[in-house]
Structure 1
Amino acid sequence: MVLAGPTAVGKGTVASYVREHYPDVWLSVSATTRPPRPGEEDGRHYFFVDEPEFDRLERTGQLLESATVHGRARYGTPRGPVEQALLQGRPTMLEIDLQGARQVRQAMPEALFVFLAPPSWEELVQRLVGRGTESEAERATRLETARTELAAVSEFDVTIVNDDVARAAEHLVSLMVDPRAKD
């Protein structure tokens, strides 16, 4: 399963809920060149790498997808752990951005693509501002990107509105068990 959606929609929060309540679900850990936010741990939330290491991972085909997000940091999904989880038959979820989801669709079209949507534009803006992790300029860039990301909802198999983290996470997990549970 590929989970994507606009910035500040709560992808990380929903993924954390799944991680805590559904230990059988394997969640990918992305590599990124951005610095850690408060409370983030290397290897758990992200693999924090420098630009030369990210270049090496891309050059050697070790990333399933990669993208530069918001014109700044680079993100990518390490290929090996995803393939290993799938070979083991584990329910597998990638929490990635729109660019990455498009690349994964090319590489793994059989995956289920889920778009996590905000209850409203106003709520999305509130969540981004409430995080307090970006400067005013970064917030403006992220909101501009979010408008583009929201317009891509039709590219996904399922849309889940994140108006309640537990409900959204439960719906995600139910889709892993039965992809027909789209409503």
Structure 2
Amino acid sequence: MDRRRIVISGCSSGGKSTLLAELATRGFRTVEEPGRNIVREALETGSDALPWKNPVAFVEKAVIQARSSLEAHAPHDGPVFFDRSAIDALAHLDRLSIQIPQALRSAGQTCIYARPVFMAPPWPDLYEQDEERPLPFEDAVREYNWLCLAYPSRGHRLIHLPKASTPARADFMLRSLGLPLRAS
């Protein structure tokens, strides 16, 4: 089992970033979600590279950041945990029935991750809307359902995270991967 480039995907506001922070406190390498940074930057600068305004520009930036993150961690032999991936970005265009430009599709296909992907399920108790995440919970659930199709169609195996405390979720992930509960 490939345990080097592990993706945590799933529902918006499903606890992915909090789980990533828990893994970081345990000594594992982590990579933040590119989407939130892209949205934050677009809102600050007035750019239209927002998933609800210009999805293609948003996805281009997300795929570039995903590739850059993978390249930056390529020399590291141990596991690296990613909050979302290039697959999430490309799936956004698929879900909107927007033709993905070939150069963008090719760039996304160079982003290779471990086969198991951990999915954070929709969890109304955690869900929060804000300026960077304006979609209502129902839209987040639709996004989640689409991702549950997108990853397997690209050869990945889904492992659904339990609705449990953050430490329990981290333990579940690490045990599923056969990794120690703390990085060595």
TM-score band by shorter chain is 0.5 to 0.7
CA contact (8 A) 1:33 1:51 kept: no
Map of 2:80 onto structure 1: 92
Aligned residues: 144
Matches of 2:143 and 2:22 in 1, distance apart?
Answer: 27
Deviations 1:54-90 (A, max 9, x none): 98xxxxxxxxxxxx54557846234334223232213
Out of 25, 29, 51, the residue aligned to residue 26 of structure 1 is 29
What is the SS of the residue equivalent to 1:7? coil
Structure richer in strand, relative to its length: 1
Aligned residue in 1 for 2:130: 133
**CA distance in 2: counterparts of 1:139 and 1:126, whole angstroms:** 16
Gaps of 5+ in 1: 37-47, 56-67, 179-183
CA distance in 2, matches of 1:175, 1:105: 26
Q: What is the TM-score normalised by the length of structure 2?
A: 0.57
Q: How far is 1:166 from its partner?
A: 0.9
Structure 1 contact 4–11 (Cα < 8 Å) conserved: yes
% identical equivalent positions:
12
- Where 1:133 maps in the other structure, the secondary structure is coil
Summarize the alignment of residues 25-174 of structure 1 with structure 2, pairs less than 5 Å apart. 25-31=28-34, 32-35=37-40, 50=45, 69=51, 74=58, 76=62, 77-96=65-84, 99-100=88-89, 106-109=109-112, 111-118=114-121, 124-128=123-127, 131=128, 133-134=130-131, 138-140=134-136, 142-153=137-148, 155=152, 156-157=156-157, 158-174=159-175
- Residue segments in structure 2 that go unaligned for 5+ positions in a row: 1-5, 92-104, 180-184
Output the TM-score relative to the length of structure 1.
0.58
> Equivalents in 2 of 1:125, 1:6: separation in Å?
10
Q: Give the CA RMSD over aligned residues.
A: 3.8
